[in-house]
Amino acid sequence: MMAAEVALKPSFSPGTPKILFEGPYQSLPGISTPDGQRFLMLKADQQDISASQINVVLNWFEELRQRVPPRKN
């Protein structure tokens, strides 16, 4: 997570980003309190870091064509 100071006057001017903290956090859209003073970060569980299985689907586009007929204009 990074932060940067921002000046709004006389024009928008972002400062140099600084690291707030690092870690294996799950990416979420900006979840913050209404006042903008706090935010929520979910730390990934150690078990979530490495996958024990991966599923590879081959020729999925061909199967999609068979299941979804083309649109008629």
- Check if the beta carbon of residue 45 is closer than 8 Å to that of residue 35: no
Position 10 confidence tier, pLDDT thresholds 50, 70, 90: very high
Residue 53 tokens read as 């299985």
Q: Would you kindly state where each structural domain of the chain is located, as residue ranges? A: 2-67
pLDDT at 16 over 90: yes
Res 12 pLDDT > 70: yes
Give the model confidence (pLDDT) of 19-66 as tens digits: 888 877 776 666 777 777 777 777 766 555 566 777 888 888 888 888
